[in-house]
Amino acid sequence: MPPKRPEILDRLLRSYWADPLFFALLTAISAQATYRVFEIPFTLQTLVVYSAGLWIGAKKGSLSQLIYLLAGMLLPVFAAGGIGLQYLYDQPSGGFLAAFPLVAWTIGAINKRHRSWLRAWLAVQAGSLVLFAIGLTRLYYYAGDWTVLQVLEAGWFGYLPVDQLKILLASSIYVSFPRIRKNFENSSAEKVDTL
């Protein structure tokens, strides 16, 4: 007979917090690998943020990203092992990171667990617009003397093709795995005591 899990772990896995913690962990892991396409660095973080909004909805999706950001205040979970509020302030990408909770919330609020690929795709497009609106605004103030066109060139034009690929992937994966999606929906519907 296998050993019994500790009760607190069992309660955590069945609680409201399990899905947000899972997506916060995925976001942290996805920040650690950087890929380069035409010398532009990318991580898979936004793919996870988009997926959080689709899979676990507006509230839990945004909570997962708040957990990620809070973890980043104490642990090196940001890209390249970054840590703390100063990291968010010092990085040109700080606005993009700060936007993650609102991005996940926007996607979840628009999609509302519909099973349509088009609805999921439109929801993630809207989330991407929120991401770039906040991120580029922060980049504009961070850069200081850049024109709006320079900000768009540095922070949007080069990233747009890969972002569209991530949007396509997030939407397609979401509608392609109904059994997994149903498990997330059931875990959200269960009323279990939280810790």
* Residue with the two structure tokens 């320079």: 150
Query: Does residue 166 lie within any of the structural domains?
Result: yes
In a domain, 1, yes or no: no
Tell me whether residue 195 is in a domain: no
Backbone angles phi, psi at 75, to 5 degrees: -125, 150
Residues pairing with 37 in the sheet: 40
64: in domain: yes
Q: What integer pLDDT is reported at residue 191 of this predicted model?
A: 43
pLDDT tens track for 86-107: 999 999 999 999 999 999 999 9
Number of domains in the chain: 1
* Beta-carbon contacts of residue 108 (< 8 Å; ≥ 6 apart): 52, 53, 54, 56, 57, 58, 59, 60, 61, 62, 123
Cβ atoms 45, 31 nearer than 8 A: yes
For residue 82, is it within any domain? yes
**Does residue 131 lie in a domain region?**
yes
Q: Which of the four pLDDT bands, split at 50, 70 and 90, describes residue 189? A: low
- Residue 173, in any domain of the structure: yes
Q: Could you list the residue range(s) of the whole structural domain that residue 146 is in?
A: 10-189
Which range among 2-6, 82-86, 114-118, 153-157 shows the weakest confidence by mean pLDDT?
A: 2-6
Lowest-confidence pick of 50-54, 67-71, 154-158: 154-158
Q: What is the pLDDT of residue 114?
A: 80
Three state DSSP letters for 108-146: HHHHCCCCCHHHHHHHHHHHHHHHHHHHHHHHHHHHCCC
8-22, 38-52, 155-169, 176-190: least confidently modelled range: 176-190
Domain holding 19: CATH number?
1.10.1760.20
Specify the pTM. 0.86
What is the model's pLDDT at position 190? Answer: 47
Residue 71 domain-assigned (yes or no): yes
